[in-house]
Every structure is written in structure tokens, then in C-alpha cells.
Chains A and B, each alone.
Chain A
């Protein structure tokens, strides 16, 4: 397969996501502009310009009308995808970076979390974004403070029916937050004290996969957070995604950024690795990046996937027939 290389960023990619239908790919990086791409041919629809500094997180709503970005300077911005204008500069009442954000399923609500730096406490906030415009100065609907033991939130998912939120933390905990009661429901230790870098749902959102610095990715059920499977590698996992059509998991990672310059690309540490969902065994690798992979996303049709790396490139891979013909020998 010949991947499409998308060069829209000057610095390392922080997150990439497809929209629900898979025709749009959004990417954000440690530079100021988020990019919007057509996934079919890698054409850039536009950039979301007008902010400064790193964008840590990006999300797109179910109807593909609005994009939410969380910035390192403590800003949360909502954009119109049709023309790239800012719909709303949402005040976060915080100077610390917005680390995670996400629209709820209905996109009536949005959640975000900020870092526990600069004297701020890490909080999970939920906003009503139905009428958000540039004049909004509304307080969050719900604001919940994260416990000291769990540390800051590093990834965030909305649970079923917009009733609860699941968060992954820097000390390896997975917390569940009830929005009606406005408090933490459950706190489980999933990855022994190591940061959870990423969490992604399966296609029907009955399961989610976590990627952690402790060299593993783990699969949990959404409704009761039971550990189902563990995928072990020899290096930190930065991102993990579940195939929507086959029992496959793709893991991306690599070592610490400071060790990258001393590592040859031939060692294979920057490969995307495909694991079998059920047997937890690696069955294939895909080369490409010359830095660790920071974010991965499967196309909703399962026939391609995208990866964003520390090298600043997004690579769009359309799987060969060989991938679909492959059967896993037990």
C-alpha cells in the first residue's frame, strides 16, 4: 500500500480523529493550527487558524458541523467546519492547559479538563454548547475536581446516553463520573501508576481500549469497566484503536521523545503494530514514521487507518487485500 502523507503541521501531532462518516479527518499538533482533511484523497479542506501555541486535543461532533479544540494557553475554542471560523471562545476560568475535550453524543454538551499546573487544580467541566457563541461567558454546568491520588486527566470519553464520563489519568486510574450527581462514581487502578495516554471506543461503544506508558494497552467494557484483554509490548503505547470490522487492534507508540534521536528507524520501534483482539497476539507491523506514533485512528469503514507521529506527519494507510485475506492461526 502507498500511504498518503499529510504535511500540514510544523510540529509533532498530538491527536487525530475521523468524523462519524469517515470522510473528514481532523488533526492537531504542537503548533497553532488544527487541520481539516478529506480522508479519501488527502486534500486539505482548511486550517483552523487564530490561536497561539500547542493544541492538545481536538474533537468533532456527530453531525460534522462543529470542532472543539483545547489549547495549551487554557483556551477552549469551537469552530465551524464549513468555513473554519471561530464560533466561540469558551472561557475555561483557568490558565493551565486544556488537556482533553469531547462533545457528547448529542453534542448538546461538551466536556473538558485542564491540567493541574500553575496553581490550578485539575477539574472536569461540562458545558452546554447549544448556544455557544463568542459572547458566551457561562459557567460550566457541572465542575468536578479530580483527586490528588489520580492526578490530572489525560483522556476522556463520554459514556452511554450522555449520563456519565470515563476519564483516564496520569497515574493509571480510570474514573467514572456521574453527571447528575456531579461526583466520582468509581475509580479503578488500570495501569500501575503509569500515565494513560489515550482511550478510544469500539465502533458500538460497548468497549474501550486504553493505551499506557506501562507498555500495555487494555480493553475494558464500557458499562462496568471490566478488564477484558491486555496487549503487551516492549515500549510505551501512545495510542490504540479498535478496528470496526475485524477483531484487530492497532497500537502505536515508541520510546520517550528524548531517546528518539539515538534510535534507528530499522529497529522497528516506530512501527504501528496490529494485534488480534481476542488472542492478544501481535500478527503484523506497518512501518512508516520516523518518530513515535502519537495518535491513531481507524476509518469508520475499517478499510484504512491514519497515524500521526512525533515527526509531524499524518499518514493515511489504505489496507491491501493481503490484510483482509489474512487469517490468524491459533
Chain B
């Protein structure tokens, strides 16, 4: 906690003695009687000696209280607050960020994934069926899947060219070569397991496909909600994900949204119909969502 800040007027006087900073306009207080709002405008220097204008809007409420409370309301401030002006001071009282009370509907659901299951899932994963047990405890150990996978791994290791470890395999054929790489115990990168190339390219393509079904709708009005958006796009086909940008402070729409369709055809149809469509007095602009890495 910093020391209670000096009254700004004193600060100005002090600065003037040294002739460093010019004086500031006096603070203005406006009082709106109908709405009960008090608007206080202050000018002060920030830490970089830049002039800043601080506008605070305070709501003035009248309450009927007991005599005891009323008498305490008019006490003079003391201690470190002795020089404070009436009303809450910005150096001791701040309005915090919005906090939501989180209701717990089903206790088991909330507690367990966080504390226990997650940790186990992280560490124990069967290489064959991806279950939460060790590979040698796999219930499918003797089944076809397991044997196939093993066979696939061996086949893959013996095919030259597709194997990253090919040079070391060649070493192995030489007499007196180091170790036995290429054997059953050799390291196979996770992406190359289960039959080779499929891993990397498949994963990459899967992501691209997901991106290409996404469309961007811009020029939405500020009052648009998720429900409005859903009404707007559900006629074109099923969607998998919807994101409506909102302003952090007031929760209003920032004017654009991303929709992920399940099918590319639906997305294309949506673009065709919605681009230039008049919605809530604004003309929408709709196009494919551009991936961030392009």
C-alpha cells in the first residue's frame, strides 16, 4: 500500500515553486439531479508528467438509516485518511473485476476431472488402445488389433526409404556395428508409429479441413447475441463451433463472428446467401475465415 497520496492541489503548488509544471485546470463537479449521478472531472499528472483527465461518474443514493448509522456518516476522517476528500478514495478503494458465483450442480463432475483423473490420464496411456492403463495390461493384448499393430510396426521397420532410422539400419548390417538399432527395441517417433507417414500429414490435413469450413461474418451490429447468430446460420446446415467476439468491458458484440460448419458445402452456401445480406440495419460481409498462419 502506498502512502496516502497528496492532495493534487498541494502537488501543483509544490511543483510551481520549482517552475517545472504548469498549473492544471480546477476539478469540475457536475450533478445530475434527475438521475442522481455526480460526474467529477479531475486533471492530474501521471508518472510520466503527462497531463491526464480523470472522469469519474458516481451514483448518489439516498437511504433511510437508523440514527446511529446516520451520525457515523458525518464523522471526520482521521489517521492516514485525515486529508482525504469525502467519498471513496482511489488509492484505498478500487472496484474489482466482475466475479461470478460458481454454482456447483454435481459435485463429482466438478471435483474429479480437475484433481485426480486428469493427472492419471496425463501419465498413463496404453500405446495400443489409448486407454488409461499400461500397455502390457491392455485388455486387447491378445486381440487382432494388438497383433496387427505389432506386425505393422515390424513391417515398417524393415522397409527402407520410409524409415528415418534407415542409415543406422545400414550400420547394423555391417559387422561390428554399434548396438542393434532397427530391432524391436529401437525408437520410433510417435508420429511415425502405426504404419508410417499417415501421422503427420493426416493430422495436418485434418486441421486444414476444419479451418476451411469456417466463415467470418463481419459488420454485425453491437446488439447481436449468440442466439441471433444461430438463427441466422442454422438454416444453411449444422455447425460445429460458433464464436462471437465481445467487448471485455461491456459485453457488446465487437462486430464480427466466426462460424465453423460441419460441411464445406454448407459454408459455401452461407457465404453466397449472407454476403451483402441486410441484417439489423447493417449489410453483412461474409467470407471464408482466413487462417492466422497465411
Residues of A within 8 A of B (CB): 1-10, 21, 23-24, 33, 38, 40-49, 63-64, 81-85, 267-268, 274, 281-288, 312, 315, 317, 319-320, 322-323, 326, 329
Contact = CB atoms under 8 A, between A and B. Distances in A.
Nearest to B88: A43
Interface stretch (B17-25, B47-55, B90-98, B180-188): B90-98
B98 A1 contact: yes
Contact of B87 (A41, A274, A287): A41
A46 B96 contact: no
B104 A282 contact: yes
Contacts of B82: 46
Interface string B57-89: 000000101101100110111111110100111
Contacts of B75: 45, 82-83
Interface residues of B, number: 37
B103 interface: yes
B98 to A, nearest CB: 5
Given A24-B72, A47-B79, A322 B101 contact: yes
Contacts of A38: 73
B93 A41 contact: yes
Contact of B69 (A23, A46, A48, A317): A23
B33 interface: no
Contacts of B101: 1, 274, 284-286, 319-320, 322-323
Contacts of A47: 78-81
B99 interface: yes
B7 to A, nearest CB: 15
B104 A284 contact: yes
A315 B103 contact: no
B29 to A, nearest CB: 17
B107 A281 contact: yes
B92 A317 contact: no
B77 A44 contact: yes
Contacts of B65: 23
Contacts of B114: 267-268
B91 A46 contact: no
A2 B79 contact: no
B92 A23 contact: no
Contacts of A21: 66, 68-69
Contacts of B69: 21, 23
A2 B99 CA distance: 6
B96 A315 contact: yes
B136 interface: no
18 contacts: A1-B100, A5-B95, A6-B92, A7-B92, A43-B88, A44-B88, A45-B77, A46-B82, A49-B79, A83-B76, A268-B114, A281-B107, A284-B101, A284-B103, A285-B101, A287-B102, A288-B99, A319-B101
B103 A43 contact: no
Contacts of A63: 68
Given A3-B99, A4-B96, A282-B107, A46 B77 contact: yes
A4 to B, nearest CB: 6
A46 B80 contact: yes
B206 interface: no
Nearest to A49: B79
Contacts of A317: 99
Contacts of A85: 78
B1 interface: yes
A2 B98 contact: yes
B256 to A, nearest CB: 28
Contacts of B93: 4-7, 41-44
Given A7-B1, A21-B68, A64-B68, A44 B84 contact: yes
Nearest to B115: A234
A285 B107 CA distance: 12
Contacts of A274: 101
B88 A2 contact: no
A309 to B, nearest CB: 12
B37 to A, nearest CB: 15
Q: Which 5 A-B pairs have the closest CB atoms?
A: A47-B79, A84-B78, A46-B78, A42-B93, A46-B79
B96 A3 contact: yes
Contact of A23 (B72, B91, B96, B102): B72
Contacts of B73: 23, 38
Given A2-B98, A9-B1, A312-B1, A45 B107 contact: no
Residue in A7, A33, A85 whose Cβ sees the most chain B Cβ within 10 Å? A7
Contacts of B88: 41-44
A8 B1 contact: yes
A44 B103 contact: no
Residue in B69, B89, B92 whose Cβ sees the most chain A Cβ within 10 Å? B92
Contacts of B102: 284-287
Contact of A288 (B1, B89, B96): B96
B78 A45 contact: yes
